[in-house]
Structure 1
Amino acid sequence: MPAITSLLSVPLKPCAEEAIYNSLLMAEEVDGHRGKAHALPIDKVKALLSQ
């Protein structure tokens, strides 16, 4: 079973990374009953990722 798991994880890794980046960077600021949730500043995230 480990061979199958490693075989499947290789092509999925770039897709998973892209999905994570999309969900983080496409989020918008929202107001809720517990207060405001701010969107991430895209320029600062790009700077951190380029390091």
Structure 2
Amino acid sequence: MKLLEHAVIAGMPVRNRILRSATWEALADAKGYMSENNTASMTSWPRMKWA
């Protein structure tokens, strides 16, 4: 499968999507809310240059 190529994952068609696995990053604040570090991490990911 190539990046942005149509595909089927577990019987579900996906088109032009980049999937990211669920991860735990421990960046929330003490109350469990988004922190500035968490926001920076989430917003920088789509701008990363992939090989």
Same fold (TM > 0.5): no
TM-score, normalised to structure 1, is 0.29
Structure with the larger helix share: 1
Higher relative contact order (CA 8 A, sep 6+): 1
TM-score, normalised to structure 2, is 0.29
